[in-house]
Structures are given as C-alpha cells and as structure tokens.
Structure 1
C-alpha cells in the first residue's frame, strides 16, 4: 500500500512519539449546570489532585454550544486548519465526547472532540470548552494522573501549539496502585503501529487506549475510505492485545471530514497516518 504523507511547514522532529508514565486515579465526577465545560472539567481534576489525563462523557446537554470542524489551511503556514465557529441554536445533546486534559499558559486546558445532536442534525468536531455551558448535570468518567500531564507547547514541525506529555511538577508520589502512559504521536506515523511501538518499548502486552487526534484520510476495515487529509478523530474503543507475544492495536473510531460527514468503525492497522497530532492515554491491562 502507498504511504500517505502530509507536508508540514517546519523541520521534521526526530522523535516521532513521546510518552510519560504516571500513577493514575480513576475519575468520576459531575459537570455542574452554569459552568463552562473546560472550567467544570478542570475543577474535577483539581478536586482529585490530578494534573492531566482524559475524561469521557456519553450523554449530556449544553447551551450555548460552540465547535469547529477540520478545514483546509488558507495559507502555507499550516498543513490543515479549522472551520468557522459553529454555534447551534438551542440545547445540544452530546452523544459521545472525549477530552484530553492538561495545561496551557499556566492554566488548565482541555482538547475535546465529540459527536452531538442539535437542531442542525448530527454533528461532530472540536468542542470549544470555554464557550460551551453545561445545561444539566453531566456525569464524566476517566483517568487522571497526579504525576503526569499534557503541556501545550509550540510545535515547530506543524506550526501549531500542541499537547506534549510531561511530568507534573506538583505530583504526589504513591497516589494509586496502577499506572498509565500519557502519549503523543506525530504526523505521518500510523496510529496503530505507533501505539504498538510505545507499548512494546515499555513491556506492555495488553492495554485500553483512549484519545483524540487527526488522521490523514481514514481507511476502515470494512472498506470505507475518508478522502479528507484533515479530520477530527475520537477513539470510541481502543485495545492492545498480545498476538504471538507482541502488542497489537485495534481502534474503533468516530471521524468527521472537511465536509462535516461523520464516519465510524474499526480502522485498518498500518494504513492510517496521523495528520497533525494524536494524544493518547494508555492504560495497561491484564494479558
């Protein structure tokens, strides 16, 4: 199969993946009405003493609500960009969403992709947390870390500010009995093979995988193809299992393309390169 490559404006970083281990805290808390989604999530993390990680929510209502979708870049400063901001009228019903949680400019920050329903129909994209307000209590679950986080840093290769896994300086030792990896995959790396390499380097043979990112076109195992170089992706079910003693990843995703079309299903291992970035939380599991 021909390898799809997307050219970014900056120098190619030599390290194509990065990962930071951290002790982990199971999270379960409620986003309270009247709060912005990002502030409500930040409060839940702060209450648990966590610096970073992920949360997911299935269901929930927000009003007002704002989001963007992937788009072609209007210039040569980036390989992809964002659409105009969409602000559906009325209450928006969240179907499924996942937020990677970390820090930007010294403040808590979330990167959230999801699928929702509004008066405009079923939509998917990048939720704008500061402009989206919780309308009714929303239960969220996830995994936080008190010793690892994601820091939003300028990225020379893509010319974006992107999350990078990092130790959390305020971390508390001995906070939990199990550990996770906070990880990132760079452009043009196949997402499944990159996850396998991250796990193999750390002796992980089985894991649950959570995360969001972008892929350069998408190839599904059922034969469907998404012909869009810029996409927004949400892992709805990710697993690593041991096959012949080696870790092998299987990812079931939701994805939206530049036209706003939503696709879903299991993707082809070895034929789904990252477009801009992919942020992951990898939870080791029993073989």
Structure 2
C-alpha cells in the first residue's frame, strides 16, 4: 500500500488539523474498585483525588467481565471505518491499557484502548466498553489529573463520529502539576510531522494517549488493516522529532507492538494525546 494512503471521510475537511490546549498535569495514584462498572470505578478514583478529567495507565489487572470491540470495515454510510460486534471475556487478565477521562453532554465519559489475554492465554487488543466491564479485584493505577483543559465529546462533521476534543475546564488545584498540552489530531495527518509543531518552543515532552491509524507501520512490520486502533507506550517529542512506541490492533484482533516508522503513518479517525513536560 502507498505510505501516503488517505481515507475518504463523509464530511468537509476541517481547516485546523489539530487542536491543543495548555493545561497542568498532576501525577495521581488511584484505587479502582472491583465490582463496579469500570467507568464508574475510574470516575470515583479520579474524584477521590480531586479531578474530573485525566489520563490513566492501567497496570496488569483481573477482570470478572471484559467487553471490547475492535476495528471493522466501513459501514455503508460514508464513514471510513466502524467497530466489530462486542467480544466478551469472562475472567480475563488485562496486560495494560490507557484511558482518557473527559465528559459527554455534561456526564463523565472515558475512552480506553488496551491489551488483554483470553482465559486460554491468547493476547488480544481493542477498545474497552467500560460500562460493560467489571474488575475482579481492586487495582492501583497511576496517571495524571488535569486542570485547565479536559476532553469533551462533540459531533465531528468531517468523520461523522462523535469525538473527544480539548476544551477549557476547571477542576483540580489550579497551578498544580507539570505544564502540559491536551491535544487531538485530524484524519490523514502525519503524527511525526504534527507533534513537533504542537510542541514547538517547549521542553521535551512525554506523550501519553490513544488513537487510530491507517494501517500501522512499525519500524519492522505492518498491520494489514486500513483502520487500526493504537495505544501509545513510552513515547516523546523533542525538537523536530517524535519517537512513538505503540501497540496496535486491526481487523483480526491480534496486536502488534513496536516503534512506529517515522512519517509512514496517517491518522485514521483521531488521536487523543496528553503531552507532559518530560521531567514529570
């Protein structure tokens, strides 16, 4: 496939190809309670730390019920991609996940991508359906609570999806935490080119987040699905270059991991990123 492949989307191309708002990112350690719908456990964990928005890294965790979807071919409505039917795992072990907590129509809302193993030991990855998933045991997770900006769901005419977008917000302790940027990127854009633009003039930044790519092209290997979902691992941007280490999954549900090949990837639907001063 052509490295510069682009996907057609149903709506008009937005003029701005990324959105970024400054915020403060306060490190937090949260206890996520077992027995609750997972989204409620996350919301309660952040609330106990004084935050209504943030990014969380989920460590290895046992789920009594884990429900997820993976990318699927586009429906017949003009959208570029869609989701599979839900997959349900009972007594599953999550290896790692990343999630944004924001809001949708004034209510808490989260978006999570992660990796997990089936009871038979097979490694899988996807988009966690948090209201339909429940932890078997309490989990201690680390992340960042945000003040000054948060992700809020809004209709996106270009893609035809309702997507997270950064918005000014209160919450947390004003001025606490490291300088950070909360940002999203538009379809068909090159993340290796946009990230240095977004971070221009700032110190080296740690990158946390999730998103989707047109295929996922690693330094070694490519996922052969035109829509893939991504979880960023250890990643950063400094000066004119970005290093993006990721796990990704396509239509077959089997993940690949590695460093993304610079300038060989394009955003599929969106990327939702938190960029934090690297010392944090």
What is the TM-score with the length of structure 2 in the denominator?
A: 0.95
Partner of 1:106: 106
- Distance (whole Å) between structure 2 residues aligned to residue 229 and residue 240 of structure 1: 26
Secondary structure in structure 1 of the residue aligned to 2:244: strand
Secondary structure in structure 1 of the residue aligned to 2:164: strand
Secondary structure in structure 1 of the residue aligned to 2:124: strand
- Distance (whole Å) between structure 1 residues aligned to residue 249 and residue 167 of structure 2: 29
Query: Which ranges of structure 2 fall in alignment gaps of 5 or more residues?
Result: none
Partner of 1:64: 65
Matched, 1:52 2:45: no
Partner of 1:204: 202
The CA RMSD measured in Å over matched residues stands at 1.4
- Distance (whole Å) between structure 1 residues aligned to residue 241 and residue 202 of structure 2: 10
What is the TM-score with the length of structure 1 in the denominator?
A: 0.93
Partner of 2:78: 77
Secondary structure in structure 1 of the residue aligned to 2:196: helix
Deviation at residue 218 of structure 1 after TM alignment: 1.5
Deviation at residue 139 of structure 1 after TM alignment: 1.1
Extract structure 1 runs of 4+ deviating beyond 3 A: 169-172
Partner of 1:190: 190
Which residues of 2 match residues 1-287 of structure 1 at below 5 A?
Answer: 2-88=3-89, 90-119=90-119, 121-170=122-171, 172-174=173-175, 176-200=176-200, 203-222=201-220, 224-241=221-238, 246-285=239-278
Secondary structure in structure 2 of the residue aligned to 1:63: strand
Secondary structure in structure 2 of the residue aligned to 1:10: coil
Deviation at residue 179 of structure 1 after TM alignment: 1.7
- Distance (whole Å) between structure 2 residues aligned to residue 257 and residue 153 of structure 1: 25
Q: Can you list the C-alpha shifts for 1:161-197, whole angstroms capped at 9, x where unaligned?
A: 00001111456533x1422111101101112221111
Deviation at residue 251 of structure 1 after TM alignment: 0.7
- Distance (whole Å) between structure 1 residues aligned to residue 100 and residue 171 of structure 2: 19
Q: Is the 8 A contact 2:73 2:82 kept in 1?
A: yes
Aligned length: 277
- Distance (whole Å) between structure 1 residues aligned to residue 30 and residue 56 of structure 2: 10
Deviation at residue 76 of structure 1 after TM alignment: 2.8
